[in-house]
Amino acid sequence: MTVLDTLVSGLSSGAVEIVDLTHTLDPDFPVIVLPPEFGQCARFRMEEVSAYDHRGPAWKWHNISMSEHTGTHFDAPSHWISGKDVALGSVDEIPMQAFVGPAVVIDCSSEALANEDFELTPGVIAAFEAKHGRIPADSWVLMRTDWSKRSGADYLNMRDDGPHSPGPTPEGIRFLVEERDIRGFGTETIGTDAGQGAHYAPPYPAHYYLHGAGKYGLQCLNNLDQLPATGAVLMAAPLKIKNGTGSPLRVLAMVSK
């Protein structure tokens, strides 16, 4: 039996389960909101071209439009100024091996429930490793907050002083990038950074350190509560967009049962 034969038999027997970590692309799904004088993230839109009617009698199809950073999406290094000169930094250039790989899940759900501005610090990571072992190099690190169970205004959680949602501190993300050499960092929130991430030094530290080091981001993930702390394998291949800085995508995880 080859490795793939084993995988296929595991999939058919149910020993390996596929978990969908993706939100539905929906026109009303929140996107990041920037000060209005800046360019904005395009919402997902769908316009009917025909629906088995005079516009096309036997077929139905839509034109769709969105940003590279709408819905559940992948951030490439070229998304951030710190990563603009990273080699193979756009979605069409990233080596495809990066799109399938192991994931660890740091469960911060109870902390995020108590504190919407909960911070992922080196101390939180150390506590995770004390329980689950050292985070392997080249793995995805996913921050579980159960934020995906929120919807509407509670999801963006925008207030007069900006959005409030959990995320990593500069020290937390630096530790993962520099000390653990992770492949990338994923969240259930609207970005890889905390809602108040603009107020750290540097601003938006997850974007700054991840992409500066050629690492990737995943955000607006769903169903992280269905993943084990270690052992899941992520399949997260962005669309092959020429010079793309990111892409909406279907993120699937394989989990041993």
Partner 1 sequence: MTQPLQPPPKKNPQKRTQSSTRPPETRSRAALGLSAAAAEGRFALQVCQECFAVQYPPRDVCRACLSPELAWQDQSPSGTLLAETTVRTSTKLYFRDRTPWRMGSVQLDVGPVVLCHVHGDCQSGSKVTLLNRLDAAGQGVLLAVPEERTDHMEDNPQLRALSADPKHRRILVTDLRNPNTPALVKALLDAGAATVFVGESESWRPHDNRRALADLENVETLPLDVTDVASVQKLAGEIGGKTDILINTARFVRPGGVLERGDTAFAREEMETNYLGLMRLAQAFGPGMCARTGDGINSAVAWVNILSVHALSNAPDFGCFTASNAAAYSLSQSLRGEFRGSGLRVMNVFTGPTDDEWHQALPPPKVSAVAMARAVVSGLQQGLEDVWCGDVAKEIRDRWRRDPKVLERELTQGGEGA
Query: Which residue ranges make up the site for partner 1 (CB under 8 A)?
Result: 27-28, 30, 33, 36-37, 39-40, 43, 45-48, 151-153, 155-156, 158-159
Least spacing, CB of residue 44 vs partner 1, in Å:
9
Q: Which is nearer to partner 1, 5 or 37 (CB)?
A: 37
Q: Which is nearer to partner 1, 48 or 85 (CB)?
A: 48
Taking the C-alpha atoms of residue 112 and residue 110, their distance in angstroms, rounded to an integer, is 5
Q: What are the beta bridge partners of residue 218? A: 74, 186
Least spacing, CB of residue 154 vs partner 1, in Å:
8
Distances (CA, A) of 5 to 9, 11, 15: 6, 10, 13
Least spacing, CB of residue 159 vs partner 1, in Å:
7
Token pair for 119: 């911070």
Q: Is 62 a catalytic residue?
A: no
Q: Distance from CA of residue 199 to its chain's centroid?
A: 21
Q: Are 184 and 152 in contact (CB under 8 A)?
A: no
Q: Which is nearer to partner 1, 156 or 194 (CB)?
A: 156
Taking the C-alpha atoms of residue 6 and residue 38, their distance in angstroms, rounded to an integer, is 51
Q: Distance from CA of residue 197 to its chain's centroid?
A: 16
Q: Are 206 and 197 in contact (CB under 8 A)?
A: yes
Q: Are 246 and 68 in contact (CB under 8 A)?
A: yes
Q: Tell me which of 23, 69, 73, 79 is the catalytic residue.
A: 79
Q: Which is nearer to partner 1, 155 or 216 (CB)?
A: 155
Taking the C-alpha atoms of residue 160 and residue 37, their distance in angstroms, rounded to an integer, is 17
Q: Please name the helix (run of DSSP H) or strand (run of DSSP E) that holds residue 253, with its range, or none.
A: strand 252-256
Q: Which is nearer to partner 1, 115 or 151 (CB)?
A: 151
DSSP string, 198-223: GGSSSSSHHHHHHHHTT-EEEES---
Least spacing, CB of residue 71 vs partner 1, in Å:
13
Least spacing, CB of residue 192 vs partner 1, in Å:
19
Tell me the catalytic residues.
79
